[in-house]
Amino acid sequence: MEFDPNQYIELFYQDSEEHLEQMNEALLALEQNPGNSEPLQAIFRAAHTMKSSSAMVGFMHISEFTHTMEDVLAKMRDEKAPITGDVITTLFDSFDLLKEMLSNLGDQESEAHKNRVKQQSTELITRLHSVAAIRPPEIAETPTAKVPRIRLDETRRNRIEEYRLAGHRIYEVDVLFEDNIPMAATRAFLICNNMRSLGDILVCEPDVEQDENAVVEKGFSFILATDSSESDVRNGCSVGQVQNVITRDITQAEQFEWPDESEKKSTEQAPESVSPVQVKPPTAEAEKSPSTSFERREDRVRTQTVRVDIAKLDRLLDLAGELVINRGRAMELGQQLAARRGNTGEEGFLLDSLVQQGMIITQLQEAIMESRMVPVGQVFQRFHRVVRDLSHGREKEVDLVLEGEETEIDKKIIDVIGDPLTHMIRNSVDHGIESPAERIASGKPVQGKLTLAASHEGNNITITVRDDGKGLDLKRIKQKAVERGLYTEEAINQLPDREVLQIIFQPGFSTAQVVSDISGRGVGMDVVRRTIDELGGSIDIETEPGKGTAFTIRLPLTLAIIQALLVEAGSEMFALPIANVTETLRITSNEIFTVEGRGEVIRLREGVVPILRLDRVLETPVRRETNSRIYIAVVQHGNQHVGLVVDRMVNEQEIVIKSLGAHEQHSGYIAGASILGDGSVILILDVAALIQETLGI
Amino acid sequence: MAAKTVATENLTQQYVSFILDKEEYGIDILKVQEIIRFESLTRIPKSPPFIEGVLNLRGKVVPVMDLRTRFGLPKGERDRKTRIIVVNVNGKEMGLIVDEVSEVIQIDSDQVSPLPPMGASISAEYIRGMARIEDRLMILLDVERILSSEELAAL
């Protein structure tokens, strides 16, 4: 079968996104603590993997660029080059360019743009080389340092302990190859194969068994649990061009204290026997050499997960929803049967088994919902960078605090929530948090604090963006709203404060004094609101002058099942998402007023709410005569309310949202469909579209 | 010459035949997913008139088209014989309401001729050809065309 790169491109995109994410996190960690070599290695790993994968799918420019990054990082790592601000900036710029390269792959790029990226890439390659050229003179590699010793983390140590307690012998083996031998990785793999016939390889570094791209240059090390003798092990390692094999029997080693924990003990720790070729015990320097001792913990975790197309999970959830609906129907029939024929005989057993089945279905549905859940931290992490860039650009000092990153939410929601959150965070840094001078003047710490917190609240998830800035200026919002012609002077003075705050979500509203390149263009908060509405969520603002502002977003845990109010209009049944229904009313026909040119309205407390007769707008074939009693469901979208006139309120229940079938596009006022317990199809009304119709927007 | 004859001779296709306003029609059996009895549908407000509504097909919501209305034929009665033919074209399912389904029939390509001018009461746009079967004529429909018209795209 021929190799078709297209099959792998989707996978490449997904992988690259992950690698970029890791690179980003590592960069930020590096900036926080330049002395730590772990982040540098993480960046190296990400660049290394992207180099190979992009070459595989034919994106040679990405491969070339990541190759340079990899080279430079390897050099810095090996030469212990100091991580200066310059290095970090260059790496950040490289990261940005890489991101741009990736995001533009799908598009039909213009020639000019291609050239620009190419030029930037050349420039950065030069810069990367030049920052790497800074090398401290005092570092000289110890020539004996050839093979790194194995680092042991908790998991590995426990694993070794298990084998030791089971009575196996444990050997640590270092294999040194002759210089510049071809196919070192293959030889290493061969040795591992031989070893597996003797026992179990517990740790292998670099991991030639799991990672075919593992960098094996000078040699590799592994820890073997076996019942064979030491000489068998040594024989197994004798493949061609092996310079030296060092085996250490570590079965008796009391505690696995290894060089990275306590460097001094290393040499005396275990009896050593060295092959006659060369006697060269590893020195302390050797163990410190970071050249190939990559921490591969993440890779291990990843092998326990499976990538699944979200469409498949959608289908599973859909089917589970179907079962839930059917469960209700089956239970009902079972109970009827038992009531009629008594529940002593088979009917009783049937009913029992139906109850059992019902519980299993509930668990099944929950399990499937859970499988779609991902920690919200995935999105949160990226804001470190956003805040870093923003605060640098605005000369503000901002500390981003993340809370509840482990809170889980439906994948679909995660995918769309990133952009609105970015906007809100930008808004808080731009408009909320004051400049250092202002903060000092008002007696606050120089560094502003921005908190991004997530938590569960019943069937909802709450995400809060809170700053300790100057708070929203109500007077200024009112003034601006009048200036922009959104409200008249009298109208705005009658609005309660809560509603004044909501004005900032209206299209075309912005209170920024200075228009910055990022926020303050008057688009954004309205888009934030719309996105959240579309997800069936809500957003609230709390603000205190001088103390700060908190935006609280409430979102449903999942999008597939909603709570709905079923109503009847013109003898047809429709579903209204409960999230959109603010209240239901029963009025009489003389409480409806007609406003010239604006249609019918009702009074609701202080205000006036326009109404829409559902049977008319949906053109139902049957219309009920308007009688004295009228039912109204008040629905809300954004801060607009409309009363929907219905014939009857049926009930409230959970429904599974389904698309309208073959032709995905929504039809008129219909947002989707669902199937009720009796098998009939019910349509879900698109409240936003109905409100637009009523208000003539 | 001989080779050409062989190539055309073997083109036998199976069709599902059905009745619509007393005329016989056929659609390619490979496009037919299943045939079900007519059941009451849920109307979709503001949809084109030939979309009768949606039905629940084992948990999937499938739109249903009244073929008579689609072809501008007079409205028919719904009775015991009324069927919904569920077709599947490129993964999209659609139900077609017909007066009755008669049989599955094999038609050789040499039985099929292009549509004679004024040969049928429905628009030539949806017709693949006419088939002669002994003494009767069957109109072979182009399901893709019926499903892919502009009105449907707007649905």
Of residues B45, B59, B92, nearest to A662 (C-beta): B92
Measure in Å the smallest separation between the Cα of A614 and chain B Cα atoms: 11
Question: In which residue ranges of chain A is pLDDT below 50?
Answer: 1-3, 134-147, 254-303, 512-523, 664-666
Residue range A375-556 forms a domain whose CATH class is alpha beta
Interface of B with A in 66-95 (CB under 8 A): 92-94
Instruction: Give φ, ψ of A119 to 5 degrees.
Output: -65, -45
> What pLDDT sits at residue A519?
43
Q: What is the DSSP string of A400-413?
A: EEEE-TT-EEEHHH
Q: Any catalytic annotation for residue A48?
A: yes
Within an 8 Å CB–CB cutoff, is residue B152 touching chain A? Answer: yes
- ipTM for the assembly: 0.81
What's residue B118's pLDDT? 61
Q: Does B43 touch chain A (CB under 8 A)?
A: yes
Look up tokens 């002593």; give the residue: A344
- Are A618 and B56 in contact (CB < 8 Å)? no
Q: Taking the mean position of all CA atoms in its chain, how far away is CA A185? A: 35
A243: β partners: none
Question: For position B10, what pLDDT does the model report?
Answer: 57
Instruction: Please check whether residue A409 is in contact with residue A370, taking contact to mean a CB–CB distance below 8 angstroms.
Output: no
Task: Quote the CA–CA distance of A221 and A206 in Å, as a whole number.
Answer: 7
Residue pair A389/A410 in contact by the 8 Å Cβ criterion: no
CB contact under 8 A, A661 and B93: yes
User: Which residue out of B54, B55, B65, B150 would a mutagenesis test of the A interface target, given it has the greatest number of A Cβ atoms within 10 Å?
Assistant: B54
CB count in 10 Å sphere of residue A302:
11
Residues A661, B63: C-beta atoms closer than 8 Å? yes
CATH assignment, A154-300: 3.30.70.1110
Cis check: omega of the bond before B116, within 30 degrees of 0 = no
Superfamily of domain A5-132: HPT domain (1.20.120.160)
- Where does A561-695 sit in CATH, by number? 2.40.50.180
A427 among known catalytic residues: yes
| B45:A658 CB<8 A | no
DSSP A336-353: HHHHHH-SSSHHHHHHHH
**CATH homologous superfamily for the domain B13-153:** CheA-289, Domain 4 (2.40.50.180)
Of A574, A613, A681, which to mutate for an interface test with B (greatest number of B Cβ within 10 Å)? Answer: A681
Q: Do A527 and A429 touch, CB atoms closer than 8 A?
A: no
pLDDT at A682: 92
Domain boundaries, chain A: 5-132, 154-300, 310-372, 375-556, 561-695
The first and second tokens of residue A237, run together, are: 């390692």
Tell which A residues from 614 to 673 touch B, by Cβ distance under 8 Å: 617-621, 658-663, 665, 667-670, 673
Residues of chain B with pLDDT below 50 are 1-8, 154-155
Give the start-to-end residue ranges of the domains of chain B. 13-153
Query: What are the start-end ranges of the H helices in A428-550?
Result: 436-441, 474-483, 489-494, 497-502, 525-534
Phi–psi pair at A212, nearest 5 degrees: -70, -15
Cα distance between residue A56 and residue A53, in whole Å = 5
Closest by CA to B129, choosing from B111, B144, B146, B145, is B111
Does B44 contact A683 at a Cβ distance shorter than 8 Å?
yes
pLDDT of residue B120: 57
- Among chain B residues, the shortest Cα distance to A660 is held by B61
Q: What is the pLDDT of residue B29?
A: 94
Gap between the Cα atoms of B73 and A175, Å rounded: 85
Nearest in space to B26 (alpha carbons), one of B118, B124, B77, B101: B101
Separation of alpha carbons A498 and B62, rounded Å: 44
What number of C-beta contacts closer than 8 Å exist between A and B? Answer: 78
CA distance B117 to chain A (A): 33
Q: In what order do the strands lie in the sheet with B92-98?
A: B32-37, B83-89, B92-98, B60-66, B51-57
pLDDT at site A620: 85
Residue contact B61–A620, C-beta within 8 A: no
pLDDT of residue B8: 47
Selection from B58, B64, B68, B55 nearest residue B22 by Cα = B68
Residues of B in contact with A665 (CB under 8 A): 153-155
> Could B42 and A680 be called an inter-chain contact, meaning their C-beta atoms sit closer than 8 Å?
yes
State chain A's mean pLDDT as an integer. Answer: 77
- The pLDDT score that the predictor gives to residue A677 is 73
A174 strand-pairing partners: A221, A246
Q: In three state form, how does the secondary structure of B45-101 look?
A: CCCCCCEEEEEEECCEEEEEEEHHHHCCCCCCCCCCCCEEEEEEECCEEEEEEECEE
Which among A158, A221, A214, A230 has a CA at the least distance from the CA of A191? Answer: A221
